[in-house]
Structure 1
Amino acid sequence: MRKSLLIAAAIVSVVAFTGCKGKNKTVTGGGGEAVSGKIEQSYKEKVAQSVDFTANLEAYKQTYIVPSITARIEKLNVDVGDKVKKGQILAEMDKTQYNTNALQLANAELDFARMKPVYETGGISKQEIDAAETNINVLKETVSNLEENVTLRSPFDGVVTARYNEEGDLFSSMSGTGIYQVMQMNPLKAYVFVSEQYFPQVYIGMPVEVKVDVYPDQVFSGKVSRIAPAIDPTSRTFEVEVTVGNSALTLRPGMYARTTFNMGEVDNVTVLDVAIQRQTGTNDKYVYVLKDDGTVESRFVTTGRQVGDRIEVLAGLAEGEKVVIAGSARLLDGMKVQVIEGAQQ
């Protein structure tokens, strides 16, 4: 009989203990001694609405140096990694075609100069003089085009990022690649896909902070340079181009970046971070709120951003409510709290 009573008592104890572990923490203090605790009154403050998005850095401009003629490469003046200036000669092609057409142009101009007096005296028709002039114009265009394609220049300041040929190679415009690839690395740009809810807050010229994993302690300055006018209906995002200054060429195209947009400020309730408790085994967060009768109740809250040693509370707590910031480990719902002298109220 005694053994049966002990087993029954054990079962009751287990059931009681199980009931104490519910999500709502309904165990009461049972009128025991008050637990000492430190209290702070929640209050509203301005909280910066900073939002982070990831992106890949890209060259601001990039191009392939591709002549439109088939010719042998006579000279390569730069190599991979070299910085180049706009208009700098990068490569020189065989000038046979250019020289031939330039000679034809010179002869055509000489012939035209001889024909003009004859035409003025009626020795040749207007049709003949017009044909000669047309031929000169065609040759001028041909020579100008060949000049651009035998002396290859950089279209902008940048860095040579690839070379695909050697001196002496016969280059064909049908090969599919150029002789060089050149990228403009100052500035760089990043295409960021921003959630549609922030569309009203993003504007041209908006400052953006940029960080890369390679330099974790550095913050680079960027600004919004273009905003897509439409929202992607699948991802519910819109594309934003961010231009990032890179005068020291510290950053490189292809780097993984994190961009931070400051979407303004809002007045929200905040509490000290030590007030926020986390329920074991879940992601739920709660605070102990001091009621008028001196007892506490646990209140589940939705938190937002960290502001120094304070945390933004989005839901679950009103401005002016008193929360426990020290002594929470010993508390259960309904327990009385003896406020430590000097605590904020």
Structure 2
Amino acid sequence: MSQHRFLSDKPKWLVPLAAIGGLLLVILLALGVLGGDSKTKPGATSIAARTVPANAATVRIARQAETGSSVWQGTLRSRLAVKIAPKLNARIVEMPVHPGDRLKKGQLIAKLDDRDLQAAYNAANAAYLAAQAQAAQAGADEKRIVDLYQKQAATRQNYDAVIAQAKAARAMANQAASAAQQSKVMLGENMLYAPFDGVVGERFQEPGDMAVPNRPVISFHQPDDLRLEAAIASQCAVQLELGATVSVRIDALRQTLAGTVDEISPEIDSQTLTQQVKVNLPKTPGLQHGQFAWLETRCQAPQAVLLVPASAIVQFGQLQAVRVVEGGQWQMRHIRSGKRYGDQLEVLSGLKDGETILLQGELGQ
């Protein structure tokens, strides 16, 4: 009974204090603060040396000059890409094309309601015929007054008045003819035709909608003449030249194509500090207008980097190591890698210039 009372009389704060102290002890041991003075330096972790096999391939590491590469996202666009819009206000009565349709030049795209246009043309044509009849009558009066005036059977005043009326009638007839011709041209605008051989991209309106000038009905492009359009940093654009060969990666096709720089915009966007670059692409099955692609350029100054073959690197989860050869023996050493250059990786730490490593990634550890 007395022992139970003794245990219960201990301060309750001693229990959590003992727990916290134990946790701190474990952390200090894990960090190496306690339990020894030796520490393992990054890049120097090694395992007991082993003899290098007689047939093992090795490589001596040396710094190499490499130019940093940059990748810019762009869009594939047709050289001939337009949005077709009417020139007048009218309701769409017929639209026989759909996205993906291939059209020949001159093929019908849309037909607009032409009743108002037809009425206007009929009125203009009737006005022209009336003006033409008046001009003919005025011409006959002009001929008659000239004959009378020469015979001194008409006064100068009558002569001048008839001549002026004839000239005015002819001018009115010419004006009516122009109006009728303009009305006829507008009547022809109720039909929208394909301007070249191409493919319908997007259909913006449907039959029954009101067509409005400058509001597109469809988008239309030529699918066989594509190029990449990308905005790249101005410091990279100045290093490109027209006709230069660049790499264009098409993720949708899992292909990298060799393109030719076709245009470099001289203007720099004040907000993004980029310039528009257009790259011609070879005809390749699967390329489509509107696809995303990546333009790969080299625009950084060359730098000396330490490279090792990617096949020589051994993975330990997220850690990397190589087998360093020295005095006929090899030992494992951890490294930290950087950018990839083809089949080689840049080594940021763990190796020095001039060291030798084993190439066989399949050797036993």
The answer to whether TM tops 0.5 is yes
Corresponding residue of 2:244: 206
Contact 2:110 2:192 in 1 (8 A): yes
Contact 1:289 1:299 in 2 (8 A): no
Q: How far did 1:207 drift?
A: 3.3
Deviation at 1:153, TM superposition (A): 1.2
Map of 1:316-331 to 2, 5 A cutoff? 321-325=354-358
- Judge conservation of contact 2:76–2:227 (CA < 8 Å) in 1: yes
The aligned residue for residue 5 of structure 1 is none
Residues paired across the two proteins, number: 306
Structure 1 match to 2:341 = 306
Which residue among 262, 268, 273 is the counterpart of 2:310?
A: 273
Please name the residue that 2:228 is paired with: 190
* Partner residue in 1 for 2:19: none
**How far 1:157 moved relative to its partner?**
2.8
Within the alignment, does 1:54 sit opposite 2:85 as a pair? no
Q: CA deviation at 1:64?
A: 3.4
User: Per-residue deviation at 1:192?
Assistant: 1.8
RMSD, aligned CA: 4.8
For residues 189 and 267 of structure 1, what CA distance do their matches in structure 2 show? 32
Provide the C-alpha distance between the structure 2 equivalents of 1:254 and 1:40, rounded to a whole number of angstroms.
Answer: 46
SS at match of 1:185: coil
**Counterpart residue identity of residue 256, structure 1:** F
Distance 1:255 1:177 in 2: 25
Whole-Å Cα distance in 2 between the matches of residues 98 and 179 of structure 1? 20
User: What is the SS of the residue equivalent to 1:186?
Assistant: coil
* One-letter amino acid matched to 2:108: I
| Cα offset, 1:294, TM superposition | 9.2
Alignment-derived partner of residue 41 in structure 1: 60
One-letter amino acid of the structure 2 residue matched with residue 272 of structure 1: P
Secondary structure in 2 matching 1:40: strand
2:16 is matched with: none
Matched residue, 1:343: none
- Aligned residue number for residue 239 of structure 1: 276
Give the gaps of 5 or more residues in structure 1. Answer: 1-10, 332-345
Counterpart among 244, 263, 266 of residue 229 in structure 1: 266
Over the matched positions of the two proteins, sequence identity in percent amounts to 19
Residue number in structure 2 paired with 1:153? 193
1:287–1:323 CA contact under 8 A, matched in 2: no
Pick from 165, 176, 185: which aligns with 2:206? 165
Secondary structure at 1:215 match in 2: coil
CA drift of 1:63 comes to: 0.4
Whose radius of gyration is greater, 1 or 2? Answer: 2
Q: Which TM-score applies when normalising by structure 2?
A: 0.61
Q: Where does the alignment leave 5 or more consecutive residues of structure 2 unmatched? A: 1-28, 147-159
* Pairwise CA distance, 1:83: 0.8
How many angstroms apart in 1 are the aligned matches of 2:364 and 2:281?
51
| Structure-2 separation of matches of 1:256 and 1:131 | 60
- Superposed, 1:85-96 pairs within 5 Å as 85-96=104-115
Q: Displacement of 1:254 after TM fit?
A: 3.5
TM-score, normalised via structure 1 length: 0.64
- The AA in structure 1 aligned to 2:342 is V
CA deviations over 1:261-288 (Å, ceiling 9, x no partner)? 4679979664433445679767xx7767
Which has a greater percent of strand? 1
1:198–1:291 CA distance, 2 compared to 1 (3 A): farther
Contact 1:59 1:184 (8 Å CA) reproduced: yes
Residue in structure 2 matched with residue 135 of structure 1 by the alignment: 176
